Chain A
Amino acid sequence: MIYLGNYGDWVDDNKLIEYMDTHEGVMSPRDQNHENDVKNVLHETSWNSYTSECTIQYNDTEYLPLELPDVKTDYYWLNKMLPGMCMPWHRDSNSDTVKVRYWMPLQDYEPGHIFICKHELMVNYKKGDLFKHEDPSQYHLAGNLGWINRYTLNLVEFK
């Protein structure tokens, strides 16, 4: 993961956590209605049978337009993970169309809030730190083994 800079003030200005805490979101992958995504991510294992509540996603771009200063992005989604939620080791289903993939925590690092990419655990980050994936199709996982909600923003630039 390549660190690009800090956008903490931008996070505050956009009230992203407040937005998630006051809107319903979509339980992913359970309620996404993306059958192929579910098959791709949760194939062949017990994940599919009882763990479809992996993260709560928000990508209402009409209601929450986001433009990150000085960074070209085409699409975003916000994630809220309650304690105990976890997205298994996976590659995002839109990997073939993505040119650049970004990840931004919306709160300071909290023990138990995990994002693992290429066997690297992200720690000691600050709210609004922006990271670029070295490889947009890299396998990764995220989870909340902590005690408070975990909030992140994912952004992509398409090819």
Chain B
Amino acid sequence: MKLIGNYVDWIDDKWIDYVINNDGRPMPDKSDLENATETQEERDNPLSMHWTTGRPLIFPTLCYQYDIKNTDFIIDAPWPMATHSEWWINKFMPFMLGPMHQDGSRTNEPNVKYYRYWMPLQDYEQGHIFIYEHTLITDYKKGDLYLYDDPDAQHCAGNSGWTPRLSLNITAWECI
């Protein structure tokens, strides 16, 4: 993860108000679950189904997601980016946890270069978790912009703290 800069002055507080005060899309999405099919790996490791079908043990929602389809605002990044991009905001309420994973992507497509950005929408708090590969990201400030070294890198996020955790995620891509 490279820290590229800080864009706190660019963040519109109405995004945060909206996300705090409105329900997002529970992830994993219900339709995803209904259409989910077991992979061989999942059959071999039943525990993995705790994550992919929602955790029966504790709380089935990993996080709430917001994007252009369920918000009333558009986010247009001011930093130089690739020609195509999509954004989403994640809200993790206390105890919402997302497993170690790679983002679904088309990074194996030939001649396409991907970029993944991560921006916390609040200062670092104890218990707010973002782990990139084997590194816990801490001491960040609201609006810090990070770029993944590897768009396919494993990462996980969660909230083991006491306040909602908000982050902006952007994937950008271009043909090369």
Could you tell me how many residues of chain B have their Cβ less than 8 Å away from some Cβ of chain A?
A: 32
What are the residues of chain B within 8 A of A84 when measuring CB–CB? 50-51, 55, 57-59, 97, 99
What are the residues of chain B within 8 A of A143 when measuring CB–CB? 97, 129, 158, 160
What are the residues of chain B within 8 A of A51 when measuring CB–CB? 58-59, 94-95
- In B46-105, the 8 Å CB interface with A consists of 47-48, 50-51, 55, 57-59, 93-95, 97-100
| A50 near B136: Cβ-Cβ < 8 Å | no
Query: Is A19 on the interface with B (CB-CB < 8 A)?
Result: no
| B134 near A112: Cβ-Cβ < 8 Å | no
Q: How far is the CB of B23 from chain A (nearest CB, A)?
A: 15
Q: Per-residue 0/1 for B29-50: is the Cβ within 8 Å of any A Cβ (1 yes, 0 no)?
A: 0000000000000000101101
Q: Per-residue 0/1 for B124-144: is the Cβ within 8 Å of any A Cβ (1 yes, 0 no)?
A: 001101010111101100000
Spell out A's residues near B (CB within 8 Å). 44-47, 50-51, 53, 82-89, 111-112, 114, 116, 119-121, 123-124, 139, 141, 143, 145-149
Query: Is B156 on the interface with A (CB-CB < 8 A)?
Result: yes
Query: Is B24 on the interface with A (CB-CB < 8 A)?
Result: no
Question: Which of A46, A87, A124 counts the most chain B CB atoms within 10 A?
Answer: A46
Query: Is B161 on the interface with A (CB-CB < 8 A)?
Result: yes
| B55 near A111: Cβ-Cβ < 8 Å | no
Top 7 closest pairs, chain A to chain B, by CB:
A112-B100, A121-B136, A89-B127, A84-B55, A51-B95, A123-B134, A145-B156
| A139 near B126: Cβ-Cβ < 8 Å | yes
| B59 near A50: Cβ-Cβ < 8 Å | yes
Question: Which of B48, B55, B98, B100 counts the most chain A CB atoms within 10 A?
Answer: B100
Taking a contact as CB atoms closer than 8 A, the residue among B45, B59, B98 that contacts A147 in the complex is B45
Q: List 8 A-B contacts (CB under 8 A).
A: A47-B94, A53-B58, A85-B57, A85-B58, A111-B100, A121-B131, A139-B126, A149-B47
What are the residues of chain B within 8 A of A149 when measuring CB–CB? 47
Spell out B's residues near A (CB within 8 Å). 45, 47-48, 50-51, 55, 57-59, 93-95, 97-100, 126-127, 129, 131, 133-136, 138-139, 154, 156, 158, 160-162
Instruction: For B45, give the chain A residue with the smallest CB separation.
Output: A147
| Total CB contacts across the A-B interface at under 8 A | 104
| A147 near B99: Cβ-Cβ < 8 Å | yes
Q: How far is the CB of B20 from chain A (nearest CB, A)?
A: 14
What are the residues of chain A within 8 A of B156 when measuring CB–CB? 111-112, 145
Q: How far is the CB of B95 from chain A (nearest CB, A)?
A: 4
Q: How far is the CA of A19 from the CA of B47 in the complex (A)?
A: 19
Taking a contact as CB atoms closer than 8 A, the residue among A46, A50, A85, A121 that contacts B135 in the complex is A121
Instruction: For B42, give the chain A residue with the smallest CB separation.
Output: A147
What are the residues of chain B within 8 A of A86 when measuring CB–CB? 95, 97, 158, 160
Question: Which of A53, A146, A147 counts the most chain B CB atoms within 10 A?
Answer: A147
| B57 near A82: Cβ-Cβ < 8 Å | yes
Instruction: For A145, give the chain B residue with the smallest CB separation.
Output: B156
Instruction: For B126, give the chain A residue with the smallest CB separation.
Output: A89
Q: How far is the CB of B57 from chain A (nearest CB, A)?
A: 6
What are the residues of chain A within 8 A of B93 when measuring CB–CB? 46
